[in-house]
Amino acid sequence: MTTTGSSRLTTAESQKGNMTVQSDSSVTLIRPPRGWQAINLRDLWLYRELVYFLTWRDIKVRYKQAVLGIGWAIVQPILTMVVFTVIFNKFLGVKPDAGIPEQYYPIFSFAALLPWQFFQGALQRASSSLVSNSNLLTKVYFPRLIIPSSAVAAGLVDFGFSFLIMIGLMIYYGVPFTLTLLWLPLFLLVALLTALAVGLWLSALNVQYRDVQHMVPFLLTIWMYASPVVYPIDVINVSKFWQVVYALNPMVGVIQGFRWALFGTNPPGWMFAISMGMVLVLLVSGIFYFRRMERNFADLI
Amino acid sequence: MSDIAIRVDGLGKRYRIGALHASNYHTLRDSLVGLFQPREKQPNGHIWALRDVSFDVKQGQVLGVVGRNGAGKSTLLKLLSRVTEPTEGEAEIHGRVGSLLEVGTGFHPELTGRENIYLNGAILGMKRTEIERKFDEIVEFAEVDKFIETPVKRYSSGMYLRLAFAVAAHLEPEILVVDEVLAVGDAEFQRKCLGKMGDVAREGRTVLFVSHNMSAVLRLTDETIVIDKGGLIMRAPTPEAIDFYLSRGFSQEGQRSWESDEVPFNAAPFRPLAVRVHNPQGKVVNTIRSVEENTIEIEYGLSAPVTGLRVGIYLMSTRGEYVFTSFDTDDAAEFERLTVRPAGRYTSRCTLPANFLNEGRFVIGINASSYRVKRYFQDEQALTFTVDAAGAPGMHWPEARLGPVRPRLDWHIEAIEA
């Protein structure tokens, strides 16, 4: 029987002498984590292709198993738009923003459904992503942030199809194509970051408390009514205070931005700035919380 | 002088008992029945799965890792492959670690073989260009070229496994961690995997080889570490380490019994109680005489009736060769009689014939299963015993006889020409 202590002494010395052979970048140090950690950018960069492959897998699998395939990405928003128009516009008499003719309600609601359904799908997938990929988490190392990130990114394909419908609707209703449309990617990015930020929180919480997955559909329903999806944003004009509170919902800024880019109404102003600030807070805290919790994922899941 | 590939220093991992339970809770219900009691509570609510483990692996070395189930081997591998983080100590890894412990991880049944190669490769840390370069080689190794565009859910389990191993084996990391992949797959594929691993080692890459297959460990490694109860208890040349491991920690009375916390939850309704070796006088012994008839007895409980149950033993030499496998219902008539074994306490007993085993040390492994339905329990190193060959054939020549058996054969010597 040999003890390992004595052999280490000699090998540690030899290692020093050979330091030039081993490039420093390939040395991984494994030690107990301490405190809060920021993102390990080097690792994220090394595994960048994995984001692409996992996103690609999610999209491919989703459409492979469904009979209607891509059709779902088209049918879903259209049907929702029809239902909203009948219930909220025809029955309840909800009108679009001032400056948009009432018969434009379908495209008015679709302009909000576009980012909303992307956000909803992305958040749903992201919050369950860690648990549904538990076989990966318990067996291989890679930056865990990749899992919720690719779950969010996988929604972009659906968004692309919905956007084609939007173009069709704009032609049908004769909405002019203006230069403000070029702002859309920015608002889409904000929606994506919001879904990622909340998704980071919820996915990490879901590992420990499976209650989260029961909470998410409920949360999304409330969230939708707290966002100007079926009604115009100027409905909320009770007081400045409530407008500020309302704007804390980042999706308020996103939807306001979409409607502005498409119809030129209600340009994003201070409310959008508040929404942006909120996204930043959620995202930074989400990353730190996620990084704090990820060391236990494999043990808890 | 070779460089260091892995340096482990005082590594330890502590789990909360609650955390361990959470991962088992789906079977907790089953295990509350009858004989089964929940795992023993640790006073402080924590359990060290691994503690104070230190060792080095030189570049190009193939190091064996052996230990019983639950000894801490998997925890060690998980720490080294960064799946989980240590509670104390540290480890230094020089180079990319590829582990074959995740064979098939991330395979998606709906995706085709081709798609899964790319996906799995990316998960294991390969670059897209790297996968493209090795694609043909992977397909050829896995022998699935005709089915490369077929969803892997239509693959046979053998094809699936070959493809999974092929991707992992072509990762070409500086350090390869292999955990029990060879326990699955047919004999030919196992040979192929061992061959591939031999190649890897010859190319000067470092290999950590974890296995319960002692002959594979003997064949592939020169040095082996033994892990038990979360600690590194030995590092020695492989034959010495394996002999020590196989004979260590077993009671001296020729009996091994199982406490409820040593039995996995998913063994229910089977509950192993003890395995013993009896000499002809009925005494429990750890050394038997090869010239006598001896008895091996397994005692167990069933908390519910089991259909098609067979309880049996493997006998292995300490060189890692299997001597035989035998089940209590090997006799077809007996199997018919016991189609359903009712709940209760049982012993299954068999006789080791006289003049059968060679001198040396043997390991008894236990298996309780229903063929093609479920393996309830398996412990490949349940008990060791020693055979004393005094009086055996050929003992007047004081030499070591090759082979695990030493039968007394009927020799006839005839003079055909005087």
Q: How close B46 comes to chain A (CA, Å)?
A: 13
Query: Domain total for chain A?
Result: 1
Chain B residue numbers touching A50 (CB-CB < 8 A) = 122-123
Question: Which range is least confidently modeled, A1-5, A28-32, A79-83, B219-223?
Answer: A1-5
Nearest to B297 by CA among B261, B273, B325: B273
Q: Identify the pLDDT of residue B125.
A: 81
Q: Identify the pLDDT of residue B182.
A: 56
Q: Would you say B317 and B243 are in contact if contact means Cβ atoms under 8 Å apart? A: no
Reported as a pLDDT band with limits 50, 70 and 90, residue B72 is: confident
Q: Do A11 and B84 touch (CB under 8 A)?
A: no
Tens of pLDDT, residues B382-412: 888 888 888 888 888 877 788 889 999 999 9
Q: Identify the pLDDT of residue A23.
A: 38
Tell me the CATH class for B4-247. alpha beta
Q: Identify the pLDDT of residue A12.
A: 35
Looking at residue B358, its amino acid is N
In a domain, A138, yes or no: yes
Task: Write phi, then psi, for A114 (nearest 5 degrees).
Answer: -55, -60
pLDDT higher than 80, residue A191: yes
Q: Identify the pLDDT of residue B35.
A: 41
- 3-state SS assignment for residue B339: coil
Q: Do B3 and A21 touch (CB under 8 A)?
A: yes
Measured between CB atoms, does A136 come within 8 Å of chain B?
yes
Reported as a pLDDT band with limits 50, 70 and 90, residue B73 is: confident
Which of A2, A3, A4 is best to mutate for the B interface (most B CBs within 10 A)? A4
pLDDT higher than 50, residue A137: yes
Which residue's entry shows tokens 């608002």?
Answer: A187
Neighbours of B80 (CB within 10 A): 23
Where are the extended beta strands (E) located within chain A?
27-30
Looking at residue A164, its amino acid is L
Question: Which range is least confidently modeled, A115-124, A137-146, B247-256?
Answer: B247-256
pLDDT higher than 70, residue B211: yes
Distance (Å) of CA A291 to CA A205, B87, B123, B177, B406: 12, 16, 20, 26, 62
Torsion of Cα atoms, A190 then A191 then A195 then A197, to 10°: 10
Q: Do B94 and A26 touch (CB under 8 A)?
A: yes
Q: Identify the pLDDT of residue B19.
A: 45
- Give Cα B339 distance to the centre of its chain: 29
Q: Would you say B196 and B162 are in contact if contact means Cβ atoms under 8 Å apart? A: no
- 3-state SS assignment for residue B292: coil
- 3-state SS assignment for residue B161: helix
Torsion of Cα atoms, B183 then B184 then B187 then B193, to 10°: -80
Q: Identify the pLDDT of residue B91.
A: 92
Tens of pLDDT, residues B265-320: 788 899 999 999 998 988 888 888 888 999 999 999 999 999 999 999 999 887 77
Q: Do B4 and A298 touch (CB under 8 A)?
A: no
pLDDT higher than 90, residue A286: yes
Domain that holds residue A100: 38-285
Torsion of Cα atoms, B304 then B306 then B312 then B314, to 10°: -90
| Mean pLDDT taken over chain B | 82
| Mean pLDDT taken over chain A | 84
As a whole number of angstroms, the distance between CA B314 and CA A128 comes to 44
DSSP 8-state secondary structure symbol assigned to residue A266: S
Q: Do A140 and B85 touch (CB under 8 A)?
A: no
Measured between CB atoms, does A37 come within 8 Å of chain B?
no
Q: What is the ipTM of this complex?
A: 0.77
Q: How close A121 comes to chain B (CA, Å)?
A: 21
Measured between CB atoms, does A30 come within 8 Å of chain B?
yes
Q: Which two tokens stand for residue A83?
A: 């239902």
As a whole number of angstroms, the distance between CA A174 and CA A253 comes to 25
Q: How close B233 comes to chain A (CA, Å)?
A: 9
Rounded to an integer, the average pLDDT of B194-219 is 78
For chain B, give every domain's residue range. Answer: 4-247, 255-388
Q: Which two tokens stand for residue A258?
A: 């979409």
Q: Do B84 and A14 touch (CB under 8 A)?
A: no
In a domain, A197, yes or no: yes
Chain B residue numbers touching A12 (CB-CB < 8 A) = 4, 7
Neighbours of B361 (CB within 10 A): 17
Q: Identify the pLDDT of residue B216.
A: 75
Q: How close A133 comes to chain B (CA, Å)?
A: 8
Q: What contacts B191, CB < 8 A, 6 or more positions away?
A: none
Q: Identify the pLDDT of residue B18.
A: 54
Q: Name the strand (E) or helix (H) holding A247.
A: helix A240-247
Chain B residue numbers touching A31 (CB-CB < 8 A) = 86, 89-91
Q: Do B108 and A61 touch (CB under 8 A)?
A: yes
Q: Identify the pLDDT of residue A67.
A: 67
In a domain, A7, yes or no: no
For domain B255-388, give the CATH number.
Answer: 2.70.50.60
Show which of residues 139-198 on chain A sit within 8 Å of chain B, judged by CB atoms.
Answer: 139-142
Q: How close A65 comes to chain B (CA, Å)?
A: 8
As a whole number of angstroms, the distance between CA A190 and CA A197 comes to 10
Neighbours of B393 (CB within 10 A): 15
Question: Which range is least confidently modeled, A195-199, B200-204, B289-293, B364-368?
Answer: B200-204
Region of B125 on the Ramachandran plot (φ > 0 left; ψ -120 to 50 alpha; else beta): left
Q: Would you say B119 and A53 are in contact if contact means Cβ atoms under 8 Å apart? A: yes
Question: Which range is least confidently modeled, A91-105, A239-253, A267-281, B337-351?
Answer: A91-105
Task: Write phi, then psi, for B313 (nearest 5 degrees).
Answer: -130, 150
B22, B123, B236 ranked by CB distance to A50: nearest: B123
Dihedral sign (CA B149, B154, B158, B164): positive
Chain A residue numbers touching B50 (CB-CB < 8 A) = none
DSSP 8-state secondary structure symbol assigned to residue B35: T
In a domain, A296, yes or no: no
As a whole number of angstroms, the distance between CA B77 and CA B177 comes to 7
State the distance between the two ends of chain B, measured CA to CA, in whole angstroms. Answer: 66
Q: Identify the pLDDT of residue A14.
A: 36
Q: Name the strand (E) or helix (H) holding B306.
A: strand B306-307
Q: Do B82 and A46 touch (CB under 8 A)?
A: no
- 3-state SS assignment for residue B341: strand
In a domain, A8, yes or no: no
Q: Would you say B289 and B388 are in contact if contact means Cβ atoms under 8 Å apart? A: yes
Nearest to B67 by CA among B228, B262, B177, B243: B228
Q: What contacts A266, CB < 8 A, 6 or more positions away?
A: A97, A232, A233, A234, A256, A259, A260
* Closest chain A residue by Cα to residue B1: A14
In a domain, A292, yes or no: no
Burial B87-109 (b: 16+ CB within 10 A, else e): bebebbbbbbbbbbbbbbbbbbe
Q: What contacts A262, CB < 8 A, 6 or more positions away?
A: A111, A166, A170, A175, A180, A181, A184
As a whole number of angstroms, the distance between CA B10 and CA B55 comes to 9
Q: Identify the pLDDT of residue B97.
A: 82
Which of B2, B88, B105, B245 is best to mutate for the A interface (most A CBs within 10 A)? B105
As a whole number of angstroms, the distance between CA B31 and CA B377 comes to 14
Q: Would you say B23 and A207 are in contact if contact means Cβ atoms under 8 Å apart? A: no
- State the count of interchain CB pairs (< 8 A) between A and B: 145
Rounded to an integer, the average pLDDT of B133-152 is 89
Q: What contacts B163, CB < 8 A, 6 or more positions away?
A: B113, B116, B117, B138, B142, B144, B152, B155
Q: Output Rg (C-alpha) for chain B, integer angstroms.
A: 24
Q: Identify the pLDDT of residue B251.
A: 44
Tens of pLDDT, residues A56-71: 988 888 877 666 677 7
* Closest chain A residue by Cα to residue B7: A8
* Closest chain A residue by Cα to residue B8: A30
* Closest chain B residue by Cα to residue A301: B23
In a domain, A19, yes or no: no
Chain A residue numbers touching B79 (CB-CB < 8 A) = 30
pLDDT higher than 70, residue A7: no
User: Quick check: bond before A176 cis, omega within 30?
Assistant: no
Rounded to an integer, the average pLDDT of B39-48 is 59
Nearest to A118 by CA among A205, A224, A264: A224
Q: Would you say B280 and B292 are in contact if contact means Cβ atoms under 8 Å apart? A: yes
> Given the DSSP bridges, would you call strands B223-228 and B62-66 parallel, antiparallel or unpaired?
parallel
pLDDT higher than 80, residue B184: no
Distance (Å) of CA B213 to CA A260, B194, B224, B245: 68, 12, 13, 13
As a whole number of angstroms, the distance between CA A50 and CA A45 comes to 10
Looking at residue B5, its amino acid is A
